[in-house]
Amino acid sequence: MARTTLTRTVLAAVAATSLFALGACSSDAGNEPAAGGEPAAGADDGVITLGFSQVGAESGWRAANTKSIQDTLTAENGFDLKFSDAQQKQENQIQAIRSYITQGVDVIAFSPVVETGWDAVLQEAKAAGIPVILTDRAVDAEDETLYESFIGSDFVKEGETAGQWVAENFDGEGLKVVELQGTTGSAPAIDRKEGFESAIEGSDVEIIDSQTGNFTRAEGKTVMEGFLNKHDDIDLVFAHNDDMGLGAIEAIEAAGLVPGKDIQIVTIDAVKDGMQALADGKINYIVECNPLLGPDLAEIAKAVIAGEEVEKRIVVKDEAFDQAAAKEALPTREY
């Protein structure tokens, strides 16, 4: 489907003067340096050198996200993209960011493996005058001036949307839920859990077990097998992404049960494999998390280099799908 129109929200806590300062410290080398640092890297030849550190390749969503970035940040579009795969390890991302600082790139962008532990390396980027853009996942930084902007989804809202569907459809039935969490400490795992729990509060829907499946299909299957061995009263699986939900389907079928009927399944992402499972009735409901962030990253990077004001938090619009909506969307689905 076509790239979703951005719904842009500026955090109330960020004053307009702060945004101007952020834009100024990320502009061409001819401008004033950031406080305590060198001038921002320039793009005097008209080409923006951007170093990007990706979380990994753990899911269909991540593959679509990587493709969007690599297909957009091309030489034809005015970019020299330096790309690295962190293989879901924070230390690899920190090493990659430091390498980009040493290389003197114009902009650094990354999708953080986890929320915490970034202040030191972000201080190094700021001291070098290199602006940083966060994509997909946020960081818990002591100083928000350490990064220019965040581009991604509202993970709390995604969890809330999933929980609201469950509560609206099953409140009063004493539903027993098992939860397949994302990578421990990551923003989507923390926020989706929070949103789901807030949405089912006050209902008789109960989470009886919760464990990380690290956003992978293989671990989702393994954890679900453990849930099935431990509990004989599972009514619904809430998976933080499609891939873990697809792994749960394999475990449920191997146990002689029918996914989508004997055990309901709700997931987040809406990648093609998940949407096909929804269309086939093996998943019951999916909340979208749009991975096509490449065009948005390119737009913000160009604005930052030009010294323009950028919004601190840019939230993309996500949809939600039942079986009928999945069948309608699949023929033209881009991811």
pLDDT tens profile 222-241: 999 999 999 999 999 999 99
pLDDT average, residue stretch 91-113: 98
Count CB atoms within 10 A of the CB of residue 46.
6
Least confident range from 1-10, 67-76, 158-167, 183-192: namely 1-10
CATH, domain range 6-153+290-318: 3.40.50.2300
pLDDT average, residue stretch 52-75: 96
**Helix, strand or coil, per DSSP, at residue 64:** helix
**Tens-digit pLDDT profile for residues 267-307:** 999 999 999 999 999 999 999 999 999 999 999 999 999 99
Which two tokens mark 102? Answer: 């040493």
Q: Identity (one letter) of the amino acid at 246?
A: L
CB 62 within 8 A of CB 56: yes
List, in order, residues 6 or more apart from 297 with CB less than 8 Å away.
69, 72, 73, 109, 133, 135, 151
pTM of the model: 0.82
Strand partners, 58: none
CB 97 within 8 A of CB 53: yes
Q: Identity (one letter) of the amino acid at 264?
A: Q
CA-based diameter of the chain, in Å?
67
CB 20 within 8 A of CB 330: no
- The mean predicted confidence, pLDDT, of the chain is 89
List, in order, residues 6 or more apart from 317 with CB less than 8 Å away.
4, 5, 6, 7, 290
Residue 37 has pLDDT above 50, yes or no: no
Segments in 280-322 forming alpha helices (H): 294-305
Segments in the chain forming alpha helices (H): 16-24, 60-72, 90-103, 119-127, 155-170, 187-200, 217-230, 242-254, 272-279, 294-305, 323-329
Confidence band for 20, pLDDT divided at 50, 70 and 90 = very low
DSSP 89: -
**Tens-digit pLDDT profile for residues 193-225:** 999 999 999 999 999 999 999 999 999 999 999
Range(s) within the chain of domains with CATH label 3.40.50.2300: 6-153+290-318, 155-289
Residue 260 has pLDDT above 70, yes or no: yes
pLDDT of residue 42: 54
Look up the CATH superfamily of 155-289: Response regulator (3.40.50.2300)
Confidence band for 29, pLDDT divided at 50, 70 and 90 = very low
d(CA 90, CA 64): 21
Residue 82 has pLDDT above 90, yes or no: yes
User: What is the gyration radius of the CA atoms in the chain, in angstroms?
Assistant: 21
pLDDT of residue 23: 33
Percentage of residues of the chain with pLDDT beyond 70:
87
Confidence band for 32, pLDDT divided at 50, 70 and 90 = very low
* 45 compared with 145, residue with greater pLDDT: 145
d(CA 169, CA 235): 13
